[in-house]
Amino acid sequence: MKRIFSILAIALTMLVSLAFGQPAFAEVSAGAKIFNNNCAQCHAGGRNNVVAAKTLKADALEKYGKNTVEAIALQVTKGKGAMPAFGKKLSADDINLVANYVLDQAKAGWAS
Ligand code: HEC
């Protein structure tokens, strides 16, 4: 009886982590990793160390029309002003991941 319970518990844990935990977590940390490796030197904590007004915070993204994954991905791919283009350095998938990460962090207020 005890054994059945532990098998059930393990199966349930696996199911829950498959359904909710793992993929979402992997995606977030992949985006965070790309951000830390490529963006953080200018945008740590969602700030902008080069053009101070153009932060990655929700209000600035909205003001400058960068509050969609598409707009962020486009700017990351092509660059703008003093921001370098990443189209040759990062894959389209990575750019998509990092754009989603930026938007998620902006919505969450860059707390972490
Ligand atoms: C060398 C510094 C530098 C790096 C590295 C950099 N950026 Fe930028 N970023 C800038 C500058 C400068 C601007 C303002 C560009 C402008 O509009 O003149 C900017 C603007 C932005 C904006 C628009 C913000 C707004 O309020 O308009 C987004 C989104 C953005 N960067 C995302 C990223 C992402 C994601 C990465 C990494 C893949 C990255 N940046 C890497 C310098 C950088």
The mean pLDDT value for 25-32 works out to: 79
Residue with tokens 């509050």: 67
Please count the residues of the chain: 112
* Ligand 1 neighbourhood includes 95 CB (under 6 angstroms): no
> What does the mean pLDDT of the chain come to?
89
Supply the pLDDT for residue 51: 98
Say whether pLDDT at 22 is over 60. Answer: no
* Ligand 1 neighbourhood includes 106 CB (under 6 angstroms): no
Taking only the tens place, the pLDDT of each residue in 64-88 is: 999 999 999 999 999 999 999 999 9
Residue 9: both structure tokens together: 């518990």
Supply the pLDDT for residue 16: 62
Residue with tokens 């990351």: 76
- Measured in Å, residue 112 CA sits from the centre of ligand 1 at 19
Do the beta carbons of residue 79 and residue 95 sit within 8 Å? no
Residue with tokens 């003093």: 82
Say whether pLDDT at 100 is over 70. Answer: yes
